[in-house]
Amino acid sequence: MAHVGFPEQDGRTDGPLRQRVHGPAGRAVSDPPGLPRRDLPGLDRAWSRVVVAPDAEGMPRHWHLLDTGPLLQERGEEVVGTLLCVHGNPTWSYLWRRVLAQAPPGWRVVAVDQLGMGWSERTAEPRTLAQRVDDLDHLTDALGLTGAGPLAVLAHDWGGPVSLGWALRHTSDLAGVVLTNTAVHQPAEFAPPAVIRLARAPWLLAQVCRRTPAFVRATTALSVPPLPAPVREAFAAPYRTPGRRAAVADFVADIPFEADHPSRATLDAVADGLSALADVPALLVWGPRDPVFGQRYLDDLATRLPHADVQRYAGASHLVLEDRPEGIDVVWRWLRENVATGSGRPAAVGSAGHPEEPAESSRSLSDDVPRVAVRVDTSAPDSPAVVELRGGRRSVTFGELDRLVDDVARGLLARGVVPGDRVAVLVPPGIELTTLVYALWRIGAVVVIADAGLGLGRLGSSLRSAGPRHVVGIGRALRLADVTRVPGQRLRVEPGGDELARLAEEGRGASPALPDPDEVGGDADGAVLFTSGATGPPKGVVYTRDRLGAQVALLRDTFGLGRGERLVAAFAPFALYGPALGLTGVVPDMDVTAPQTLTAAGLAEAVTAVDATVVFAAPAALRNVVATAEGLDERGRTALAGPRLVLSAGAPVPVDLLRRVRELLTHASTHTPYGMTEALPVATLDPVEELGAGGPGSTDAAQDGVCVGRPLERVEVGVAPLDAHGIPAEELVTTPGAVGEIVVRGPHVKDRYDRLWTTQRASERPVGWHRTGDVGHLDEHGRLWVEGRLAHVISTPDGPVPPYAVEARVRALPDVADAAVVGVGPEGTQQLVVVLVPTERGGAVARLTGAPRGQARLAPGATADAVRRVAGVPVAAVLVRDWLPVDVRHASKVDRGALARWADGVLHGRTVRGRVAALLPGPAHAPMTRSR
């Protein structure tokens, strides 16, 4: 809007303004606002301009800005959106140079230097937060930014409160908010950041922030990886003298830690006002390795802006967009997708100036999707709900469980758990875990579950990434949480301990009102689970309550799990769903985190205890059951004839193993559901039946890969065909035989990846589907065949080769115990290498040290010839090892990445430096063990 009265509102300064700059050292510096005549890396001088606008008190002030507006005007481009960027302390608009440089067509970017900062005018007095909000307000008026189309803000550090304070006054113009490493609230339970507290100490403040450039320099020294020296210099350029640094110290002094601080009320108003932004799309981009605005502030903001998308860059620090420049692309992509612009997308600006909601509503499930409420089924209150056989028998009926859940829920409320809170639950399966999870769901909290199979370090980093407000766990888990600096209040619960009883007691005493079970929305988050992260850091996977319910319903309908059935729960995740379905669950006497500890006798005991009809066990557990079958007495054998169904998931299950399981559980069919943390189950089959004579399975020799059955009802499966380079297409097909990435859709598919906006976007193509990362095809009977992981597809000059089929053919050779296929060399021209484990292995020493060194690594000529004859594709080399690296959780997924690096080294495709680097363990690498 035009603002008469400010003659220089839109002009560059005609003559240099002489200003006096105050300084504690008593030095007055005269220098004009505006960029000095010096090139700074990445900065286009054409963006730089000086604008005069009144400050909070009406005094005209010279602002330095980086602004693409004049350039757009020059080019005659219509402005479709404006992004206002506000830096923090002690940086300046230079922080946003790449944001300007990468602005999409039609987007105007205005990056201000706050008064007293950067190349803007120095003020005589320190400015408070309230003044800065007013200052910015007057500036945007002077620039005519408000009321002129979609406007988004991007802020960092203390630019966050300033810009949010401004945003709350302009909600009608506001089309999006992007916040990076900032805060609006100092959570009471945490001490303020030590660095800032230290800098705030009066004797240090002047020293650190003003007299010396220590604070200015420290800010740019935090970056991981380090910033180039010229960039660090550019950040420090406006703060060369104590006089120019005055506002840096003033800013630190203006942080309202104390309740009576003059800026406290303003900051609290901003924090409390954020609920007014519930309709404004928000994105939080975070570097958690920030000594000031670390993870806890992300957690706080994510609570205040529950609808916000989050992109968390593990390992990135305070200047997150410097550490992860790719984040700028993410910000722009997000803005273009979420912020309605005049001409950019069909979602035009609504009548009230509000952008229409982006098409996010497709996420919620329609009402006709069958789902089971995630609460205890009480139709048979006197039947046992959970029976534990570990360390003596304990059990609880559905009625007891229901009451205990309510009381514990009240106790948790009394302890300060509120709906929407994330609560990590680190308790082994059993009565306590079941009670806690249902109690948390009862009050609308979000259950965060991670298991020890991730490896301890990754368990910690996973939990940190989820940012739980509370951690409930056994003593050992809590100690681990402490060591790995997982945030959240601690609550100790031991299996068989009295902690839950006390919590229930507290709950009965305080008796706070429990929310109406139907009141908590189905779109609210229900659980965060973690992928095993075989190819990178584990990813958090968020399920809404509806999606959890849909998963329970899908399991019920697929396997006919009706009320009153009894389930042996030797596989952790699904044991939890029993109470919602009215299933009696029995936890056998075993260490559930180590599936191979289930014995045949232990299984028989569990089956006997409840006369079980269904057994759910990991492949490793079944393997041990078969191996310990001699230990069964007659009664045990009879008991095992009872169950009608054995379910095994989590890793490929060899048909041979299932046949042997059927010899023990004589009346059971053996189903192996296929799926992943993000979508389970997708398909299922009984391999023994399917591959038996007569069925369609008898002609399966022609199919490549492992059959996982037909997609379940309500689950859609598509294939994104691979091109010659092994890149999956965007479009999905269901053509039989087309090989590509398996893409699924269904009511039980994850809602999103947690705080990984880009990963979520990449996985959700097309929208509403989930890219599984598995490669396979559908056959003419509509059955799905999995041929390997997309990451393990070998990209040869003749096209992509998925590993499973070749491996299966090699494994069928005599004297081959196991085989894996990997690629070496650059993408597109990779050579295929077969690594096999012969039945005849080396001695004990060789087993301990891996493959024997020397010539034995190369398969004998006859073996290599045999492999080449059956492989069906060109094989460059055949190598021999005594074991294959496999994952810890299931002990059956071959780590083909590690194997490929090993093969690459053996075949000398790598430099000495590369080989040394491969020896050093990577921090994000999945724990690995050896195949048997």
Q: For binding to other proteins (CB under 8 A), which residues are involved?
A: 797, 824-826, 828-831, 853-855, 857-858, 861, 864, 868, 874, 876-877, 879, 904, 906-911
Cα–chain-centroid distance for residue 587? 30
List, in sequence order, the alpha helices (H) in 210-316.
214-221, 229-236, 246-253, 264-273, 295-304
Distances 170 to 52, 145, 149, 356, 775 between C-alpha atoms, Å: 21, 11, 12, 17, 49
Looking at this protein, which amino acid is placed at residue 850? G
10 Å CB burial of residue 601 (0-12, 13-18, 19+) is: middle
10 Å CB burial of residue 312 (0-12, 13-18, 19+) is: buried
C-beta closer to other proteins: residue 381 or 909? 909
C-beta closer to other proteins: residue 568 or 833? 833
C-beta closer to other proteins: residue 177 or 864? 864
Taking phi over 0 as left and psi of -120 to 50 as alpha, with beta for the rest, 174 belongs to beta
Minimum CB separation from other proteins for residue 914, in Å?
A: 9
C-beta closer to other proteins: residue 781 or 910? 910
C-beta closer to other proteins: residue 420 or 905? 905
Question: Which secondary structure element, helix H or strand E, spans residue 603, and what is its range?
Answer: helix 600-610
Minimum CB separation from other proteins for residue 853, in Å?
A: 7
C-beta closer to other proteins: residue 288 or 800? 800
Contact yes or no for 13/43 (Cβ under 8 A): no
Contact yes or no for 574/673 (Cβ under 8 A): no
**Per DSSP, what are the bridge partners of residue 570?**
617
Minimum CB separation from other proteins for residue 834, in Å?
A: 12
Contact yes or no for 217/245 (Cβ under 8 A): no
Q: Cα separation of 528 and 545, whole Å?
A: 11
**Per DSSP, what are the bridge partners of residue 741?**
720, 775
How many C-beta neighbours within 10 Å does residue 611 have?
Answer: 12
Q: Which of 579, 577, 599, 578 is nearest to 588 (CA)?
A: 599
Contact yes or no for 725/769 (Cβ under 8 A): no
C-beta closer to other proteins: residue 744 or 879? 879
C-beta closer to other proteins: residue 784 or 877? 877
Minimum CB separation from other proteins for residue 899, in Å?
A: 15
C-beta closer to other proteins: residue 907 or 918? 907
- What is the token pair recorded at 293? 């605005």
Q: Cα separation of 604 and 581, whole Å?
A: 23
C-beta closer to other proteins: residue 185 or 868? 868
C-beta closer to other proteins: residue 18 or 913? 913
C-beta closer to other proteins: residue 575 or 824? 824
C-beta closer to other proteins: residue 289 or 857? 857
Write down the residue that tokens 């997924």 correspond to.
Answer: 893
Minimum CB separation from other proteins for residue 420, in Å?
A: 52
C-beta closer to other proteins: residue 302 or 824? 824
CA angle 749, 751, 753 (to 5 degrees): 105
Minimum CB separation from other proteins for residue 900, in Å?
A: 12
Minimum CB separation from other proteins for residue 482, in Å?
A: 46
Q: Cα separation of 479 and 426, whole Å?
A: 11
Please, what is the end-to-end C-alpha distance for the chain in angstroms? Answer: 74
Q: Cα separation of 633 and 841, whole Å?
A: 35
- What is the token pair recorded at 283? 């994105």
Minimum CB separation from other proteins for residue 729, in Å?
A: 21
Minimum CB separation from other proteins for residue 680, in Å?
A: 38
Contact yes or no for 788/841 (Cβ under 8 A): no
SS3 of residue 876 by DSSP: coil
Minimum CB separation from other proteins for residue 838, in Å?
A: 17
Count of CA atoms in the C-beta half-sphere (13 A) of 735: 9
How many C-beta neighbours within 10 Å does residue 198 have?
Answer: 11
C-beta closer to other proteins: residue 740 or 825? 825
Minimum CB separation from other proteins for residue 906, in Å?
A: 5
Write down the residue that tokens 């481009």 correspond to.
Answer: 77
Distances 729 to 726, 798, 800, 840 between C-alpha atoms, Å: 9, 18, 13, 43
Q: Which residues contact 355 (CB under 8 A, 6 or more apart)?
A: 150, 175, 281, 339, 340, 347, 349
C-beta closer to other proteins: residue 805 or 879? 879
Minimum CB separation from other proteins for residue 810, in Å?
A: 17
Minimum CB separation from other proteins for residue 740, in Å?
A: 22
Q: Before 517, cis peptide (omega within 30)?
A: no
Q: Cα separation of 668 and 105, whole Å?
A: 63
C-beta closer to other proteins: residue 631 or 828? 828
> Mind giving me the DSSP string for 196-220?
HHHHHSHHHHIIIIIISSHHHHHHH
Minimum CB separation from other proteins for residue 883, in Å?
A: 18
Minimum CB separation from other proteins for residue 915, in Å?
A: 10
Q: What DSSP designation does 52 have? A: E
- What is the token pair recorded at 850? 């891996």
Minimum CB separation from other proteins for residue 217, in Å?
A: 40
Q: Cα separation of 488 and 470, whole Å?
A: 4
Minimum CB separation from other proteins for residue 878, in Å?
A: 8
Minimum CB separation from other proteins for residue 902, in Å?
A: 11
Q: Which long-range contacts (CB under 8 A, 24 or more apart) does 449-453 make?
A: 449/424, 449/425, 449/527, 449/528, 449/529, 449/530, 449/573, 450/424, 450/426, 450/529, 450/530, 450/538, 451/530, 451/572, 451/593, 451/889, 452/593, 453/532, 453/593, 453/887, 453/888, 453/889, 453/890
C-beta closer to other proteins: residue 253 or 907? 907
Q: Cα separation of 171 and 371, whole Å?
A: 38
- What is the token pair recorded at 445? 């909290």
